[in-house]
Amino acid sequence: MKTIVSLFFFATLAVAEAPSYMLQASFSDGTRLEIFTQSTGSAPVSPQGEMGIGPGVGSQDLVNRIVIDGTGNILFAYNLEASRGASPGTIKIRIEPISAATEAGILKEATRPGRPRFSGAHLPTVAAARDFPAVAVGQAVTLDILYNPSTGEKIYDVLRPLPNSTPAAMSVTSVAATPTISLRGVTVRVNGSTLPASATWVIGTAVRIDIPRSGSYIISAAEPPAADTSHAFTKIAQAAGKTLSWTLGADHVEIASETNVLSGQEKATLWLFHDPHYQPDVVSLQSADAVDWLFPKR
């Protein structure tokens, strides 16, 4: 593989498989991000990698991100800032090259037994700072790190905003990942007939799929709260590898994704809600971390 540094921003994002644990960075204004590494192929990677708080360019403390492969070698490093965005409900993300002080500290640590290793004189990092001024919860930024042109395989970092918390001191923590549904570049079939769908890439604990002449469906990886008595969820949607399917009434719906549908599991039965009264004009997908954000508004 060769190092390739490129940044992509998607309106919505899904990943092939989320780790069982991931790192979260909390910033002083209450902004939060979860960050993890993914691969599109078989290359071993450490989903968590490492993060810490250290010097950036100048005197400002930043989150320092280190990407590590599956055998403990450092692949990449960069600095990270996040703050509340200019518009409500958005987050500003800034990715920067590591400073000389950060690089010196990482290289010193790499010489110690049991620490991630690096054999070169300088760590690969981004060439210049890049700002994403308005990233909403349910969206994400990806940072491509390695690319194999002969196979098309990529290793990349995912930076996903979380709902804001109470302002506090900057911190980095490791937390258990919640189950997530991932749908990318989907093909939608209803009773064997294929419907056109946009190349959307979505990820969330719950997703909503609107299908013409069929209605709106909400699928949740976790059982919806018992307090939600106004919507009836049934545990009937089948996630199997890259396919999500269900049969409800006279309709059999099958969603084929370019990624595994469920993070961390090959097969599972998911919760489904159907609103047959909402009739969209086109196939559309949305994602959220709570089902109550996804119910159709009439």
Q: What is d(CA 166, CA 246) in angstroms, rounded to the nearest whole number?
A: 40
How much is the pLDDT for 227? 45
Low pLDDT (below 70) residues in the chain: 1-21, 56-60, 138, 176-178, 226-230, 264, 297-298
Q: Classify residue 282 as left (phi > 0), alpha (psi -120 to 50) or beta.
A: beta
| pLDDT in the model for residue 13 | 35
Q: What's the rounded Cα separation, in Å, for the pair 54 and 19?
A: 25
Is residue 238 within 8 A of residue 279, CB to CB? The reply is no
Q: Is 43 helix (H, G, I), strand (E, B) or coil?
A: coil
CB within 8 Å of 96: residues ≥ 6 apart: 56, 57, 62, 78, 79, 80, 81, 126, 129, 130
The pLDDT score that the predictor gives to residue 17 is 42
Return the pLDDT at 224: 85
Phi, psi of 97 (to 5 degrees): -65, 150
Tokens of 197: 């769908």
Looking at residue 108, its pLDDT comes to: 92
Confidence at residue 284, expressed as pLDDT on a 0 to 100 scale: 92
CA 265 to chain centre: 16
CB neighbours (10 Å) of residue 5? 19
* Backbone phi, psi, residue 100, to 5°: -60, -35
Question: H or E segment at 107?
Answer: helix 100-109
Tokens of 54: 């250290």
Write out the two tokens for 77: 């490093």
Can you name the residues that pair with 85 across neighbouring β-strands? Answer: none
The per-residue b/e assignment along 208-224, b for 16 or more CB within 10 angstroms, e otherwise, is: bbbbeebbbbbbbbeeb
CA–CA gap between residue 202 and residue 111 (Å, rounded): 40
Q: What pLDDT, on the 0 to 100 scale, is given for residue 298? A: 59
